[in-house]
Amino acid sequence: MSLLSLSRLSVTRRRRPVLRDVSLDVAAGEFVGLIGPNGAGKSTLMEAALGLIPCEGRSSLADLSAAERARHAAYLPQSREIAWPVSVEVLIALGRIPWPGASNAQDRAAVDAAISRMGLEPFRHRTANRLSGGEQARGLIARVLAQETPLLIADEPIAGLDPAHQLSCLSLLRDLATEGRGVLVSVHDLGMAARFCSRLVLLSGGAVLADGTPDEVLSDDNLARGFGIRVQRIETPEGTAIVPAAPL
Amino acid sequence: MRLIAALSLLVALLFLVSLSLGPAEVGSLRGLQALLFGGDGPLPIVMREIRLPRAILGLLIGGGLGLAGAALQGYLRNPLAEPQLIGVSGMGALGAVIAIQTGLSTAFALGLPLAALAGAALGVAALMALAGPRGGSVTLILAGVAIASLAGAGIALVLNLSPNPYAAAEIMFWLMGSLADRSMSHVWLALPLMVLGSALVLATGRALDALTLGEQAAAALGVSPARLRWQLVAGVALIVGPATAVAGAIGFVGLVVPHILRPWVGARPSRLLPASALGGAAMLLAADIAVRLIVPERDLKLGVLTAIVGAPLFLHLIWKTRAGGRL
């Protein structure tokens, strides 16, 4: 079942094309990783798909009302803003805003489930924006989980996290996909993307350069064309590690 | 909830104290009796026409400023935002100053507040034209600051060209803000607009909560940025415009009150709105009681007192926040 369907999405900023004719589907159970160099249009693609910026073409989410969209797709933006010193519990409860009809018990159950899933029980009453970066990131992911949407869209969820948090974050997202949600994330770490995502989409210059399994997409040719780099591959028991070796 | 109950009680108490204060020496009980049941002599008139409007305006304007300040801080995600920031009160003051200068204020009873309202309306129109339907919060601040400084320049120009020092002094005194000698017609002018504005602002609570996560995350949570901005600017203008029109410029209430109460509501913008409204009402009623108690014979201006008390309080808060490493 397709949870997100983009067809010929294009975005122009100041008469410069940022996204060109991007077509993409995310189905339930898929963990799709968006990769590509800085400025390739990864964030723009997510914003356009969510209907947050004007665009040409069609996104299946754009047909929904803003409220329905928020019950279908949860979005973790790149900016990890927490403007006020609210408690972790209150922060996570912000994910319940799209559900005004839900009972208090339903809201509490969703927040509790998100807290326990992210292992945030000890931090429940702590002030969210005074926690460490990793703990804040977990709180913000928990907020997205509390939204209880079939589709999750996360813009660089592991940027700025230590290796342990990177691993636990990506394996959580993979588990969510295994449970039947659709997950779309942008990642810079190619090795991590190859290891966790079920499918990769390589964006370059605002267009899709390659779309397929990690092995197909991370070919030497694609990496050279997309990133302008040569990579070294090291076989490990956990899979192939991809190390950027030199610019071309 | 306990905070709301305590603040409501405090406001009710201060309202009664405000009613029982004045140059006419009457016991508070007798005064209230005269207010509620009428009676002979001048007392019911004193209560209904002088003290009641003053107390109601204190409640209304203080509450409005507290609410508007909390909403703007929530919207701009900045604890330094205050109702004066969007320039509406500055334009209102300019309208009032022109009314004083041209003699419109003495031509008929509501000449001054109506001119101030016209100025405020002009300010909002300019703000919306500048900040536009698609502008972000930064555009709104910049446009507000520009309008406020233009209004300030206009007021300075009127003072500069003022033909005699008495007119200039009258303008200066009006600018300091006061609730003295206001009538029920002032109340009827301000009340409906301010109630409408407060309703608009109070309805933004959930959207302001969502904005805690930033504008994009809020939009993805179903908040329409254009609608929120419209609702907030219209609401704040409907509060601040009439407040300036009947009482002049009263600063610091909208800045300090949300700041003091924020920790008590767990920093949630939606819960801060009603608390800050009550807190603002309490602060202004208390200040208006204080100006009558400190120097009863000299007509100490309300805006002067709120600034004298508010500024050091604010410095103290900054100091505390800085010490806690939260700024």
Residue A240 has pLDDT above 60, yes or no: yes
Pick A84's closest partner by Cβ from B212, B217, B222. Answer: B212
* CA-to-CA separations, B244 to B58, B170, B199, in angstroms, rounded: 12, 16, 19
* Topology given in CATH for the domain delimited by A2-247: Rossmann fold (3.40.50)
**Helix (H) or strand (E) run with residue B240 in it:** helix B225-247
B324: left (phi over 0), alpha (psi -120 to 50) or beta: alpha
Nearest to B96 by CA among B175, B166, B201, B206: B175
How do the domains of chain A map onto residue ranges? Answer: 2-247
Q: Confidence class of residue B58 from pLDDT cuts 50, 70 and 90?
A: very high
Whether A39 and A204 have beta carbons less than 8 Å apart is answered as no
Task: Kindly list the residues from chain B whose CB atom is less than 8 angstroms away from the CB atom of residue A76.
Answer: 217
Q: Does A13 lie at the interface with B, CB-CB under 8 angstroms?
A: no
Residue B327's pLDDT is what?
A: 45
Q: Give the amino acid at A173.
A: L
Residue A247's pLDDT is what?
A: 86
Residue B42 has pLDDT above 90, yes or no: no
Whether A87 and A125 have beta carbons less than 8 Å apart is answered as yes
Q: Does A50 lie at the interface with B, CB-CB under 8 angstroms?
A: yes
Q: What percent of chain B has pLDDT over 90?
A: 64
Residue B326 has pLDDT above 60, yes or no: no
Please compute Rg for chain B using Cα positions: 20
Alpha carbons A188 and A207: distance in angstroms, whole number: 17
pLDDT, chain A, mean: 93
Mean pLDDT of the A184-208 span: 94
Q: Confidence class of residue B324 from pLDDT cuts 50, 70 and 90?
A: low
Q: Quote the longest CA-to-CA distance of chain B.
A: 64
Cβ within 8 Å, pair B267-A77: no
Contacts of B84 (CB under 8 A, 6+ apart): B90, B148, B240, B249, B251, B254
Whether B300 and B172 have beta carbons less than 8 Å apart is answered as no
Q: Which domain holds residue B283?
A: 2-323
Residue B295 φ/ψ, nearest 5 degrees: -130, 80
Whether B220 and A70 have beta carbons less than 8 Å apart is answered as yes
Distance from CA of B260 to the nearest CA of A (A): 14
Residue A86's pLDDT is what?
A: 96
Q: What percent of chain A has pLDDT over 70?
A: 100
Contacts of B210 (CB under 8 A, 6+ apart): A94, A97, B217, B218, B221, B222, B223
Cβ within 8 Å, pair A81-B268: no
The total of other beta-carbon atoms located within 10 Å of residue B142's CB is: 13
**Which residues pair with residue A211 across a beta bridge?**
A201
pLDDT, chain B, mean: 90
CA triplet A64, A68, A69: central angle to 5 degrees? 65
Distance from CA of A138 to the nearest CA of B (A): 14
Residue B325 has pLDDT above 60, yes or no: no
Task: Kindly list the residues from chain B whose CB atom is less than 8 angstroms away from the CB atom of residue A74.
Answer: 220
Task: Kindly list the residues from chain A whose CB atom is less than 8 angstroms away from the CB atom of residue B221.
Answer: 70, 94-95, 97-98, 147
Q: Does A102 lie at the interface with B, CB-CB under 8 angstroms?
A: no
Q: Does A53 lie at the interface with B, CB-CB under 8 angstroms?
A: no
In chain B, the number of structural domains is: 1
Residue A14 has pLDDT above 70, yes or no: yes
Mean pLDDT of the A68-88 span: 95
Pair type for strands A207-212 and A199-204: antiparallel
B78: left (phi over 0), alpha (psi -120 to 50) or beta: beta
Alpha carbons A163 and A182: distance in angstroms, whole number: 24
* CA-to-CA separations, B67 to A13, A169, A173, B62, B237, in angstroms, rounded: 38, 40, 41, 9, 12
Cβ within 8 Å, pair A90-B216: no
- Identify from B80, B137, B213 which residue to disrupt to test chain A contact, counting A C-beta atoms within 10 A and taking the largest count: B213
Residue B204 φ/ψ, nearest 5 degrees: -90, 0
What is the CATH number for B76?
1.10.3470.10
Mean pLDDT of the A125-137 span: 92
Q: What percent of chain A has pLDDT over 90?
A: 83
Matching residue, tokens 């754009």: A62
Residue B315's pLDDT is what?
A: 87
Q: Is A83 helix (H, G, I), strand (E, B) or coil?
A: coil
Nearest to A140 by CA among A156, A162, A164, A163: A156
Q: Is B180 helix (H, G, I), strand (E, B) or coil?
A: coil
Pick A67's closest partner by Cβ from B77, B222, B263. Answer: B222
Residue A62's pLDDT is what?
A: 82
Supply the ipTM of this predicted assembly: 0.91
Distance from CA of B22 to the nearest CA of A (A): 42
Mean pLDDT of the A196-212 span: 95
Q: Does A47 lie at the interface with B, CB-CB under 8 angstroms?
A: yes
| B54/B298: higher pLDDT | B54
Cβ within 8 Å, pair A83-B212: yes
Task: Kindly list the residues from chain A whose CB atom is less than 8 angstroms away from the CB atom of residue B212.
Answer: 81-84, 86, 91, 94
Rounded to the nearest 10°, the torsion over CA B266, B1, A96, A125 is: 40
Q: Of the ranges A52-61, B124-133, B182-191, which one carries the lowest mean pLDDT score? A: B124-133
Residue B249's pLDDT is what?
A: 86
Q: Is A155 helix (H, G, I), strand (E, B) or coil?
A: strand
Whether B288 and B179 have beta carbons less than 8 Å apart is answered as yes
Q: Does A100 lie at the interface with B, CB-CB under 8 angstroms?
A: yes
Among all residues of chain B, which has the CA nearest to that of A129?
A: B326
- What b/e string do you get for B29-48 counting C-beta neighbours within 10 Å, with b at 16 or more? eebebbbeeeeeeebbebbe
Tell me B47's DSSP state.
I
Residue B25 has pLDDT above 80, yes or no: no
Cβ within 8 Å, pair B209-A97: yes
| B276/A241: higher pLDDT | B276
What is the DSSP code string of B76-91?
A: HT-TT--GGGGSHHHH
| B188/B296: higher pLDDT | B188
Q: Give the amino acid at A45.
A: L
Residue B8's pLDDT is what?
A: 97
Q: Does A125 lie at the interface with B, CB-CB under 8 angstroms?
A: no
Cβ within 8 Å, pair B214-A66: no
Pick A82's closest partner by Cβ from B212, B266, B269. Answer: B212
The total of other beta-carbon atoms located within 10 Å of residue A111's CB is: 24
Alpha carbons B198 and B280: distance in angstroms, whole number: 13
Alpha carbons B100 and A153: distance in angstroms, whole number: 58
Mean pLDDT of the A182-203 span: 95
Contact residues of B toward A, CB < 8 A: 77, 206, 209-214, 216-217, 219-224, 262-263, 266-269, 326
Whether A147 and A95 have beta carbons less than 8 Å apart is answered as yes
Whether B81 and B233 have beta carbons less than 8 Å apart is answered as no
